[in-house]
């Protein structure tokens, strides 16, 4: 086995973390945009932070099942 095949798990983990952080940033940006356009904020800071954690955990679960297959195809490709 070559080195890329041995590091498949590491690459999948890094890809999962990065994609989850990207989704969290999108969520936070949308929540901040909604709050800034209202006179009375729709979401509190606690709501936004809890939502960010929820989005991160869910996206890690989904991306941890998707990225390994994508990376394996790229390595074999």
For 18-48, the pLDDT digits (tens) are: 999 999 999 999 999 999 999 998 889 999 9
pTM for the predicted model, two decimal places = 0.82
Q: Number of C-alpha atoms within 13 angstroms, CB side, residue 1?
A: 8
Residue reference for tokens 């939502």: 51
The pLDDT value recorded for residue 4 is 61
Give the C-alpha distances (Å, rounded to integers) separating 48 from 38, 74, 76. Answer: 15, 36, 41
Residues 31 and 48: beta-carbon distance below 8 Å: yes
The pLDDT value recorded for residue 31 is 94
Per-residue burial over 16-29, b if 16 or more Cβ lie within 10 Å, else e, is bbebbeebbeebee
């Amino acid at each position: 086995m070559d080195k890329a095949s041995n590091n498949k798990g590491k690459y999948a983990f890094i890809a999962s973390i990065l994609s989850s952080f990207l989704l969290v940033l999108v969520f936070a940006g949308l929540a901040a945009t909604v709050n800034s356009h209202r006179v009375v904020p729709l979401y509190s800071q606690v709501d936004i932070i809890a939502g960010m954690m929820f989005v991160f955990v869910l996206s890690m679960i989904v991306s941890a099942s998707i990225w390994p297959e994508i990376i394996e195809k790229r390595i074999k490709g």
